[in-house]
Chain A
Amino acid sequence: MGTVLRQGSAHVGRLIRGHPIAFTIAVFGSTMFVSAIAIAAVVIGNITDDVIIPVLDGGEPYADRLRPAVLLIAAIALYKAVGIIIRRVGASWLQIRSQMDFVSRLIHHQYKLSMPWHHGEDTGDLLAITDNDAGQATFVLGPLPYATGVSLLLVGALVLVTSIDVWLGLVALVSFGLVVTTDVGSAWFIFGGFEKLQRMVGDVSAVAHESFDGALTVKAIGAEDLEVERFSKVSNALRDQRTWVSVRAESFRTVSEIIPTLGLVAVIVVGGYRIQAGAITPGEVVTALYLMSLLSFPIRLIGFVTWETTFALASWRRIARIVEADDLIHHGEMDPSGQATGTEVSGENVTFSYPGRDPVLSDLGFHIEPGETVAVVGPTASGKSTMVSLLARLWDPDRGTIQLDGRDLRDFAARGVSSEVTIVPQESFLFNLSVRENITLGQHFSEDEIRAAADLAQATPFILELPHGFDTVVGEQGATLSGGQAQRIALARSIVRKPRLLILDDATSAIDPSVETAILTGLRNAELPSTVVMVAYRQASITLADRVILVDDGRIIATGTHAHLLATQPVYSDILTAYADV
């Protein structure tokens, strides 16, 4: 816990250094606020001595003594309110700004990291870190200025009470000290159990997810009772841990709640003795009492900030894993050619493995002519998709090179490869944007270009039937599209960029064969004859290719026309047979 607090403070310190002015403003407001508390206590004490006791016990007339007293209290309230506004405005600016900074920094950095890094990450996890942890890592900034002010007030209050009377000062010191120690101690004592609790919340959610995903199987084999038993186990463990944490947290809380009350009683009693000794006036006792009673809630902020610091640190550690990752993509200096013709593609001795796995591709060599249409065919998991993703430099080969017109992909400047090569993946991904924006992805294309791309992708007819045509919002929260329609929009997205190499990774699987034929024929006859490489399953689409590359177990075992392979390669006909029923 010592390390946790030290590293937590370091994290908070960095956040403050990011926006020192906002923090200073918030602390200034907080200081106004806490000084209002101290002033109110002194004023109430003076009013007790100068107004209340003389009038109520001395029988003196209140005359013109009352009005200033009442106005003074009201003025202090106003001053206090201004302090609250400054503190809250400053603190919330600081917190929200820091949170947004984190989110932005997380995303920007993820965009610099290489595919091997991304491959090892779970997208859900990355999302959770960006959504939740960026908030959790900064929430401590909300109460921090308040707590800073309170710490100042604690010192001020001790000085004030001690200056009234040393004995009362001693009572205040013991009372404040015990509360802060108890609160910080409880954070130290319970933190581990609380972390465990959070993990158990995750366990319950994981079992529910898995069990519901497999609901059909569970029902079909009558395993409901087994599943309920499995869920109860994690659910009851969560229950026990929750009780463990609550029992301790609430016990500590009870202690830190009675200490200030006992302290106040002690002030009254000790005050009685000191008044009798003639050391102080009743009003001064009231000042000490009032001050300590107004402090009994704010003082808890110090423990609260301790807690929040530990949470912030846990979140910061998850954030740091991303923003401090240094597995960046490296680019060369070479600019794209700007030529408007299909490119020649070649691979030499290409070997590739996903991080920590056996090689998926071994020693691949191939050569594709400019403007050629090539189908890549092979059994599942034979390396087809991996091979074409290397052509788009989504990954780099472990050994060997991939070249476009003799230029190594790794020598291209940033965004150079994507200006010559686009890939349409197996699963079409649509953004929550209009059809038009889904095609342009925010880059500039003329209306004619967009239209032409949609035409080539055979997408225009159904797009025009959507409620707002090209301006219809699609994607998760937008209009529902069929799989085939989504694939055609994804295709238009690639075509509009007039790539010199167009890669279709089983990108037409949900499109009717006749439409698919129209698309592939259209691409051949388009004014920009791209080189096309497609991973294909259907015989109909394979026959449209000039040439077939047959892949099995990470190796190219043959290339040639469809008819040639059918005649010479038994594996090839087996694969087409297996696909035919799909």
Chain B
Amino acid sequence: MSDSTVVQALRRAFQVAPTLRRGLVVTLLLAGVGTAMSLVVPITLQRIVDTQLVGVDAIDTGAVLRSGLVAVGAVILAASARWTSLMRIARFVPAGLAELRNEAFSHLHRLSALHTETNRRGAMVARVTSDVAALEHFMEWAGIGMLIGITQLILAMTTMLFYNVRLALIVIAGVAVYGTLLLWFQKLLKRAHGAHRNTISDSMSAVSESITGLPIIRAHGAEAETLSRVDQALSRQFVAGFRTARFGAFLFSSAEIFAGLITAAVIGFGVIFGARGQLTTGTLLAFLFLVNLLTEPVQMIVEASDSAQAAGAGLRKVLTVIDEPVDLPDSAEPQPLPTGSLAVAAVDTTFQYPTGPPIIRNLHLSIAPGERIAVVGQTGSGKTTFAKLVARLIDPTAGAIHVGGVDVRNVSFSELRSRVSYVPQQGFLFNTSIIENIRYGRAAATDEEVEDAITDLKLGDWVEGLPDGLSTMAGVRGQNLSAGERQLVALTRAWVANPDLLILDEATSAVDPALELRLRDAIERLAQGRTSITVAHRLSTAEAADRVLVFESGEIVEDGTHIELIELGGVYASLHADWAMATR
């Protein structure tokens, strides 16, 4: 990772979140002016020493006071400039970062990876939290500190050059060596940190397993062995951590020796040059103070360069998300859907993930408006993928899906989502009340409409049995409700949305029989009068459907009514026979 890519990443971040660079030039100029504060003391000292304290018989205390007042004025002026600059940063940086965070969040919701690649979810949360925070640290502290440090270096060096070129060059050469040393130490230390980090991740893994695996460990009586494994990992971490710290202590103290040597050189050469009349007392004293102004920013810059790398890495991750093209783009020239129940057709449809075999192969299919379809097949046969294609939760890799005679890619999302409802296997509930969760189906639904939906689905006594009725809180991920109850909320959601095409991916979890009956009832009511596609895990659903599609390895191998398929004596008939035997 070179610095130039950090700069490139910053430039891109400024495009995404323009507030980040709002008034940046003025902010930096003010910070530069503010830095001049540090020069006030050496310069004042030089002036007072050279004009008043030495080589004159009587000190003009009035002149000393005037110089002092000028210095105070300069300090206050510089401090105001720095303060103004810091206030601008305090306003613009958090605002810009919020823009970046919000943009990354909303873009992630546009990517289908968010719901297809569930294993990447933790990383995606990091994109809008810790990765942005790394940039925050850089923008508010390290980035500004670095710029102020550089300004201070330049100002101090210029002042020195102005006072005495030869002594200044000696100091600058010394500081250059000091800076190089620090950079080199930083690299050595980074390498030492690598070994340390390995022990940290080892002990973190031992610790996390000992906590998450506690019931297992207890059930097998392996407490003592586990605890000793944790303690061993911790003592390895301690040894490696302490070794790194010791190494750092030696490295940085040697840098301190170097700073002392520069001071010694300034006195040595300063006195020699002064003896030749090339340097005044005040100037030499000013130099002693200026040297201290150089070593601190050099340390700061070296430290900040580390933070810059971390910020660059975090920022690049955020930008990668923001720059990932939307794989399910909304239609640019949307075509309207016909009114009423919607027909569905698959035209030579194929779907596969980038790394894997086709899940749906060359599918041809036509479903009439109002037809009630059951989709059956083994796990992995492509049933759920087919349902998601119709709902346009994913796009086919070849061919097309038509709804109401229109390619779904040419239908605007706002129309598609309001006309087509997809109810997934595991109805997800948000951590809010049940009524708010139902309103996710249609934000404008009134309380009466939601209550009517409950009545129509015959769920009234279930709602009454809840602690706070419809105001009952669902809990994180709906954990206050059972899996079957969550499914009921998801169905009510679909009812409120009043779709013309209903796609149900039925629940697989074994719910208790009473609730199961309720679910089946609700589904039947919901499907009445609309086109419906139900991925059926219970063959009783298939028995009641107008038409059954049997999937195998991504293809439809049988297509007909329940009676027809039983008579056919093929895949469906044997599935049904297995099922019937187990249940009857």
Contact = CB atoms under 8 A, between A and B. Distances in A.
Contacts of A131: 204, 207-208
Interface in A93-136: 93, 96-97, 100, 103-104, 107-108, 110-111, 115, 118, 123, 126-127, 130-131
A539 B510 CA distance: 14
B53 A282 contact: yes
B25 interface: no
A167 interface: no
Interface in B371-425: 391, 393, 413-414, 416-418, 421-424
A80 B256 contact: yes
Interface residues of A, number: 141
A360 interface: no
Interface centre among B101, B105, B208, B513 (most CB of A within 10 A): B105
Given A92-B245, A272-B53, A578 B513 contact: yes
Nearest to A432: B205
Interface size class of B (residues with CB under 8 A): 35 or more
A402 interface: no
B14 interface: no
A360 to B, nearest CB: 14
A217 B424 CA distance: 7
Interface in A240-292: 240, 242-243, 246-247, 250-251, 253-254, 257-258, 261-262, 264-266, 268-269, 272-273, 275-276, 282, 286, 289-290
B184 interface: no
A294 interface: yes
A205 B219 contact: no
A262 B483 CA distance: 68
A220 B418 CA distance: 10
Contacts of A92: 241-242, 245-246, 248-249
Interface stretch (B59-67, B352-360, B362-370, B450-458): B59-67
* Residue in B55, B98, B217, B416 with the greatest tally of chain A CB atoms within 10 Å: B98
B245 A265 contact: no
A399 interface: no
A130 B509 contact: no
Given A228-B105, A239-B98, A442-B222, A53 B281 contact: yes
B68 A265 contact: yes
B260 A77 contact: yes
Interface string A205-232: 1001111111111111111101110011
B149 interface: no
Contacts of B58: 276
Interface in A388-435: 392, 394, 415, 418-419, 421-423, 425, 429, 431-432
A272 B109 contact: no
B15 interface: no
A419 B270 CA distance: 82
Contacts of A170: none
B59 A275 contact: yes
B369 to A, nearest CB: 21
B534 interface: no
A54 to B, nearest CB: 10
A443 interface: yes
A380 B509 contact: yes
B288 interface: yes
B428 interface: yes
B194 interface: no
A542 to B, nearest CB: 11
A381 interface: yes
B427 A70 contact: no
Contacts of A21: none
Interface stretch (B4-12, B166-174, B228-236, B342-350): B228-236
B211 A110 contact: yes
A268 B45 contact: yes
Contacts of A579: 510
Contacts of A226: 440, 443
Nearest to B270: A52
Contact of B482 (A258, A297, A381, A443): A381
A130 B512 CA distance: 39
B273 to A, nearest CB: 9
Interface in B331-353: none
B464 to A, nearest CB: 18
A56 interface: yes
Nearest to A261: B75
Interface string B23-46: 000000000000001101100110
A89 B75 CA distance: 38
Contact of A293 (B53, B218, B289, B537): B289
Given A56-B281, A210-B476, A214-B428, A73 B253 contact: no
Contacts of B65: 269, 272
Contacts of B279: 56
Interface in B531-584: 537-539, 579, 582-584
B423 A208 contact: no
Contacts of A290: 288-289
Contacts of A239: 94-95, 97-98
A557 interface: no
B281 A52 contact: yes
A222 B413 contact: yes
Contact of A77 (B121, B213, B226, B259): B259
Given A62-B275, A213-B428, A218-B109, A123 B212 contact: yes
B465 interface: no
B254 to A, nearest CB: 7
A269 B235 CA distance: 57
Interface stretch (B85-93, B155-163, B311-319, B522-530): B85-93
Interface stretch (A5-13, A300-308, A364-372, A569-577): A569-577
Nearest to B95: A239
B177 interface: no
A47 to B, nearest CB: 6
Contact of B75 (A69, A123, A265, A276): A265
B221 interface: yes
Interface in B194-252: 203-205, 207-223, 225-231, 234-235, 237-238, 241-242, 245-246, 248-250, 252
Contacts of A477: 205
Contact of B226 (A209, A262, A441, A575): A441
A232 B102 contact: yes
B98 A93 contact: no
Contact of B64 (A71, A127, A269): A269
A88 interface: yes
Contacts of A56: 271, 274-275, 279-281, 284
B154 interface: no
A560 B300 CA distance: 78
Interface stretch (B122-130, B185-193, B301-309): B122-130
A85 B220 contact: no
B3 interface: no
Contacts of B101: 204, 235
B108 interface: yes
19 contacts: A47-B267, A81-B260, A89-B245, A93-B245, A96-B242, A103-B234, A107-B230, A108-B227, A216-B428, A218-B428, A220-B421, A243-B95, A247-B90, A261-B75, A262-B75, A273-B59, A282-B49, A431-B209, A576-B583
Given A268-B45, A429-B213, 12 more contacts: A53-B54, A76-B260, A92-B242, A104-B231, A111-B223, A210-B430, A212-B108, A220-B424, A235-B101, A254-B83, A258-B75, A422-B220
Interface of A: 44, 47-48, 51-53, 55-57, 61-62, 66, 69-71, 73-74, 76-78, 80-82, 84-85, 88-89, 92-93, 96-97, 100, 103-104, 107-108, 110-111, 115, 118, 123, 126-127, 130-131, 201, 204-205, 208-224, 226-228, 231-232, 235-236, 238-240, 242-243, 246-247, 250-251, 253-254, 257-258, 261-262, 264-266, 268-269, 272-273, 275-276, 282, 286, 289-290, 293-294, 297, 379-382, 392, 394, 415, 418-419, 421-423, 425, 429, 431-432, 441-443, 475-477, 490, 493-494, 497, 537, 539, 571, 574-582
